Structure 1
Amino acid sequence: MSLTLPTPIAAYFVADKDDGEAVARCFTDRAVVKDEGHLHVGRAAIATWKTAASVKYNYTSEPAAMVFEGDQTIVTARLVGDFPGSPVDLRYFFVLDGDRIAALEIIP
């Protein structure tokens, strides 16, 4: 299935195949990411989070569905990789600020 994602979200999923710096550039300066119960605030922390995840696991993610709820865009993506429980569907709760991501929470 091919989705037409909002530009900042599409950029995030492209950058997710690259590195932490590429992912961090998708976010506002003071953006917040919540993943696995941890908060990562600001671009530097987001770059560190993504880099650590990439070192720990190899995976691919494929967006499969999208809905809008209030100010959130919720994308469900299938992750396949060398992590426990693979494959898994994760939900990405994005809040956008113009052409950047202001907040992201990732949950199963």
Structure 2
Amino acid sequence: MHTDQPQDITLADLPEVITRYLDAHRAHDTATALSAFRPDAGVTDEGKTHRGAPAIETWLTRSAGEYTYTIELTGVQKVDVDHYVATHHLEGNFPGGVVDLRYRFTLSGGLIENLVIEP
């Protein structure tokens, strides 16, 4: 039976591809972060969707340099075998200064097919 009730899990229980993306994104390692995505993947951030590797690479590069902030992983959940949520607490020089963001991952073929970042 499929339920949409997320289960709390540990960081160690996340699929490697998600951990690779999160670590690379935090380290501003665009090439490694990009390697976690399918070529036709989509990322939705700040209400805009970036589809395909070139658009995601541009988004990664821009988001890394736009603001200075700290990011702390505060929770990890598994919805089902292909859907995970990683919640982050950010503090920095962006509008509002503090935000909790959910990174909602959809996996396909061992890579990230879709990532939605939202409060």
Q: Give the alignment's TM-score, normalised by structure 1.
A: 0.87
Q: After superposition, what is the alpha-carbon deviation per residue over 1:26-77, rounded to whole angstroms, capped at 9, x for unaligned?
A: 1011100011111101111101001111221122322211222244201111
Q: Which runs of 5+ in 2 are unaligned?
A: 1-9
Question: Are the equivalent residues in 1 in contact too, given 2:20–2:32 (CA < 8 A)?
Answer: no
Q: Show the counterpart of 1:54.
A: 64
Aligned residues: 107
Deviation larger for 60-69 or 26-35: 60-69
SS of the aligned residue for 1:23 comes to helix
The one-letter amino acid paired with 2:24 is A
Q: How far, CA to CA, are the matches of 2:15 and 2:71 in structure 1?
A: 17
Q: How far, CA to CA, are the matches of 1:3 and 1:94 in structure 2?
A: 14
Identity %: 40
SS of the aligned residue for 1:76 comes to strand
Check if 1:32 corresponds to 2:42: yes
Q: How far, CA to CA, are the matches of 2:66 and 2:73 in structure 1?
A: 21
Deviation larger for 47-56 or 20-29: 20-29
Q: How far, CA to CA, are the matches of 1:98 and 1:62 in structure 2?
A: 28
Q: Which runs of 5+ in 1 are unaligned?
A: none
Question: Are the equivalent residues in 2 in contact too, given 1:20–1:49 (CA < 8 A)?
Answer: no
1:79-98 to structure 2, matched below 5 A, reads: 79-98=90-109
Q: Show the counterpart of 1:10.
A: 19
The root-mean-square deviation of aligned C-alpha atoms, in Å, is: 1.6
Q: How far, CA to CA, are the matches of 1:6 and 1:82 in structure 2?
A: 31
> Between Structure 1 and Structure 2, whose CA radius of gyration is higher?
2
Q: How far, CA to CA, are the matches of 2:115 and 2:64 in structure 1?
A: 18
Q: Give the alignment's TM-score, normalised by structure 2.
A: 0.80
Q: How far, CA to CA, are the matches of 2:62 and 2:75 in structure 1?
A: 27
